[in-house]
Amino acid sequence: MPEETNPFAAPQTADFTPPEVAWLQSSSKSLGSVKLGLTLVYTGICCLLLWLMTVPVLVSSEAFGPVEDLLNQRALLAVCGGVLVLISLVFFAGEVLCHSAPTEIKGKPLVVASIVLQGLTLVLVCAAFVVQPAEGTLFLWCLATGLVAFASLNCFVLFMYSVARFIKRPDVSGRAVRTIVFGIAAILVLYVSLAAAYTKRMNMENVSAVVGWSIFIGACATLIGLVMYANTVTYLRKAISA
């Protein structure tokens, strides 16, 4: 005889597994892609830090000859720009792999925004070789390219913030917030100082020294921001693996 059911019994509920737990347990392929993407992004950050520290050395040491010579400027631009393109491709590949993150993550569209901005950065860098703008225009071109790249990085940090919230890691999401705030402050100091130096409106010696120190402080702060960004990537990768 079939087992009779008690109409007055409490309703039975099926076991519920939170989406983040289900993702971490069953979506090993997706998880592996995200981890690999974060690894590539981390590699890109390290290469970018080395690039930022190497370019001033190349310029000051006149490794390609006197910087005043136009041919030397183009040779330096070709080498530095070519390396930057390769670094951007590493970032691009890592962010594409991170797009395989679960659709439940609310910040997933930020990866798309970061990829688009990263692609625009590549276009601007490559266009500099084709257009070969004058010295003054090249300076503004570099500033614009830097802003686009910075926007791309911020979009990816916001994505990491969403992932950290999704897997219930407030420590990592807090790191992402601090990275964004510090990075914005550093870029503001650096760009305002560079704009002041570019306009050449400050002729007093003491003011010029202030601008020079501001550029130095902004540049150092930007490097620290990139290190914070790299640490956030590392902590998120470890949190996903846990």
- Domain-embedded: residue 23: no
CB 89, CB 125: distance < 8 Å: no
Most confident of the following: 39-43, 63-67, 134-138, 206-210: 39-43
Q: Of 239, 82, 116, 63, nearest to 166 (Cα)?
A: 239
- Of the listed ranges 67-76, 118-127, 188-197, the one predicted with least confidence: 67-76
Is the pLDDT at 32 greater than 80, yes or no?
no
Name residues whose C-beta falls within 8 Å of residue 79's C-beta, 6 or more positions apart in sequence. 58, 64
Using CA atoms in the order 75, 80, 81, 87, what is the torsion angle rounded to 10 degrees?
150
Is the pLDDT at 2 greater than 70, yes or no?
no
CA distance 77 to 133: 11
In the chain, the amino acid numbered 41 is: V
- Domain-embedded: residue 17: no
Domain around 80:
28-241
- Domain-embedded: residue 22: no
pLDDT of residue 178: 95
pLDDT of residue 27: 53
- Identify the band that residue 72 occupies on the pLDDT scale cut at 50, 70 and 90: low
Q: How many CB atoms are located within 10 Å of the residue 18 CB?
A: 12
- Domain-embedded: residue 18: no
How far CA 190 is from CA of 62, 89, 143, 186, 212, in Å, comes to 24, 25, 10, 6, 10
- Domain-embedded: residue 165: yes
Is the pLDDT at 132 greater than 90, yes or no?
no
Is the pLDDT at 207 greater than 80, yes or no?
no
- What is the count of structural domains for the chain? 1
pTM of the model: 0.77
CA distance 159 to 55: 30
How far CA 172 is from CA of 113, 160, 162, 234, in Å, comes to 21, 8, 10, 10
pLDDT of residue 51: 85
- Of the listed ranges 11-20, 131-140, 165-174, the one predicted with least confidence: 11-20
- Domain-embedded: residue 81: yes
- Domain-embedded: residue 5: no
239 token code pair: 């949190």
Q: What is the mean pLDDT of residues 173-190?
A: 93
- Tell me the pLDDT tens digit for each residue of 139-170: 788 888 889 989 998 999 999 999 888 888 89
Q: Of 31, 152, 28, nearest to 101 (Cα)?
A: 31
> Is 26 buried (19+), middle (13-18) or exposed (0-12) by CB count in 10 A?
exposed
pLDDT of residue 118: 86
> Is 208 buried (19+), middle (13-18) or exposed (0-12) by CB count in 10 A?
middle
- Of the listed ranges 121-130, 157-166, 183-192, 232-241, the one predicted with least confidence: 121-130
Q: Which position has the token pair 């910075």?
A: 150
% of the chain exceeding 90 in pLDDT: 23
- Domain-embedded: residue 16: no
Is the pLDDT at 119 greater than 80, yes or no?
yes
